[in-house]
Chains A and B, each alone.
Chain A
């Protein structure tokens, strides 16, 4: 299957700072990527759809000014958690779809805000 990478895999930051997470499609181009958040023992919650060359589309209840998304190229999308607080601690996962519908997920980024 296709490969999607995320960096970093783990990050610990202090409250009030910003953190950037990168999502890359390694062997295919993706005009669309998705960002999810997952709490322990829960399902994946879609946060936003990242669109190459245009603004991201955010799901209801997700603060666009807090979770900044930039789809810089056909293989890279970034999620920046601004002014992070302990309640932002979570597992963040990105995915990228192939034109044939299959979506491949990155390995996830564990964010801990102290």
Chain B
């Protein structure tokens, strides 16, 4: 089955700097890759996603890149702000209503 590896497990950056979180997946049939932000005691919130027919997607300060050949995808957050501090999860699925396989999560801390 699918296996998703996420790195790093913790990341601390200065406010205003960029943060990058990387994930790799094992199943070449996976074609949908969302990123979730989870704050303490809350459910995950979808922040951006990418499909396998696209190499990059951007939404304001957040971008995701996908390398299908290498089976890895990354989340990029620019101009980080204190409210970006949270746990971020990557995931992969075969699309449609298929189940998501999650990475281990990255605890991002933005230092003022």
Report which A residues bind B (CB closer than 8 A): 1, 4, 6, 31-32, 34, 42-44, 46, 49, 93, 95, 97, 99, 101-108, 110
User: Which chain A residues border B34 with CB–CB below 8 Å?
Assistant: 101-103
How many residue pairs link A and B with beta carbons under 8 A? The number is 58
Given A97-B97, A106-B43, 4 other A-B residues pairs in contact with their CB atoms under 8 A: A31-B97, A101-B32, A104-B46, A108-B41
A106 CA to B44 CA in the complex, in Å? 8
Known: A43-B89, A44-B89, A46-B99. A101 touches B44 (CB 8 A): no
CB closest residue in chain A, given B33:
A101
Total chain B interface residues with beta-carbon distance under 8 A: 24
Contact A101 B95 (CB under 8 A): yes
Contact B51 A101 (CB under 8 A): yes
User: Which chain B residues border A110 with CB–CB below 8 Å?
Assistant: 41
Binds A, one of B59-67, B69-77, B100-108: B100-108
A-B contact pairs, 8 of them (CB 8 A): A4-B43, A6-B43, A34-B99, A34-B100, A46-B99, A46-B100, A101-B51, A101-B98
Contact B43 A102 (CB under 8 A): no
Most buried by A among B32, B41, B51, B100: B100
Min CB distance A57 to B, Å, is 9
Min CB distance A110 to B, Å, is 7
User: Which chain B residues border A49 with CB–CB below 8 Å?
Assistant: 99
B96 interface contact, C-beta 8 A: yes
User: Which chain B residues border A104 with CB–CB below 8 Å?
Assistant: 46
Report which of B42, B51, B100, B102 forms a contact with A107, defined as CB distance below 8 A: B42
Min CB distance A9 to B, Å, is 9
Contact B96 A101 (CB under 8 A): yes
